[in-house]
Amino acid sequence: MRRFYELDLARFFAAMAVLVYHYTATGIFNRDNPRYNLDTPKDLFSDFYSVSKLDFLRVKLFFIISGFVIFEYAENRSAIQFAVSCSLRLYPTYWVCVSITALVMFFFLGDQFDIGLGYYLANLTMVQTDLGFRHIDPVYWTLYYELQFYACVFALMLTGLFKYHRLWLSGWLLAVVVYQFTGYLGFLKLIITLDYSPYLSLVT
């Protein structure tokens, strides 16, 4: 896979923007939640909020970059090599982060800690919402959509259809457009990301 240093720089600035967003513009429901009883970043950084609240848009940039990188990563690899490599890149770090989150919540919440073993193990799969569990930390939501895109690419590689990317990507985007106007997507809603597909497939 070729290394694009411009993308590394774009990712860095996007990551910093998202970090600023989470530390200065999120948590708007904390004040009314007796479980946390915290001041919100919006209140603490009220002067900065009008600007930083827009940094969530950088997540879309992440999806665009991810779509491009995943496509590049899939070239000249077999479906199995792609699946194994992507799993090794995603899951070990994710498992560590989920575990750290659970430990922090355990010490922070004390007697109010309500994350059972099943909840924790479900979150290790990265598809916890499909299993009926909430994210142990809402900021992990983006990984689910990236994993879904990985799975679609893997299936296309496995069936030999990946090389026809101009056709299936066009069909993918057309399906999303149809959904936006009709609200119907049928079985496709099980395998593609309705809200974020245009970003993941934009530059591929």
58-74 helix and 5-24 helix, angle to the nearest 10 degrees: 150
Tokens of 31: 């004040």
At 41, which amino acid appears? P
Nearest 10 degrees: Cα torsion 142, 144, 146, 150: 170
Give the C-alpha separation, 48 to 34, whole Å: 26
* CA of residue 70 relative to chain centroid, distance: 14
Q: What is the pLDDT of residue 32?
A: 46
Q: What is the pLDDT of residue 93?
A: 92
Give the C-alpha separation, 25 to 129, whole Å: 25
* Contact by Cβ (8 Å): 82, 73: yes
* Contact by Cβ (8 Å): 131, 125: yes
Q: Taking the model in full, what pTM does it have?
A: 0.72
Q: Span 4-26, mean pLDDT?
A: 75
Each residue of 71-121: pLDDT tens digit? 777 877 888 998 998 899 889 999 999 999 889 888 877 777 778 889 999
Each residue of 174-188: pLDDT tens digit? 777 777 777 666 656
Tokens of 91: 């899951």
Mean pLDDT in the chain? 76
* Contact by Cβ (8 Å): 25, 49: yes
Give the lowest-confidence range in 4-8, 40-44, 102-106, 161-165.
40-44
79-109 helix and 58-74 helix, angle to the nearest 10 degrees: 150
- In which band, very low, low, confident or very high, does the pLDDT at 36 lie, cut at 50, 70 and 90? very low
Give the C-alpha separation, 129 to 133, whole Å: 5
- In which band, very low, low, confident or very high, does the pLDDT at 122 lie, cut at 50, 70 and 90? very high
Q: Span 41-53, mean pLDDT?
A: 61
Give the C-alpha separation, 171 to 163, whole Å: 14
Q: What is the pLDDT of residue 50?
A: 63
Q: What is the pLDDT of residue 91?
A: 94
176: left (phi over 0), alpha (psi -120 to 50) or beta: alpha
* Closest listed residue to residue 71, CA positions, set 2, 170, 143, 173: 2
- In which band, very low, low, confident or very high, does the pLDDT at 123 lie, cut at 50, 70 and 90? very high
Check pLDDT > 60 for residue 30: no
Q: What is the pLDDT of residue 193?
A: 64
At 150, which amino acid appears? Y
Give the C-alpha separation, 135 to 127, whole Å: 9
At 125, which amino acid appears? T
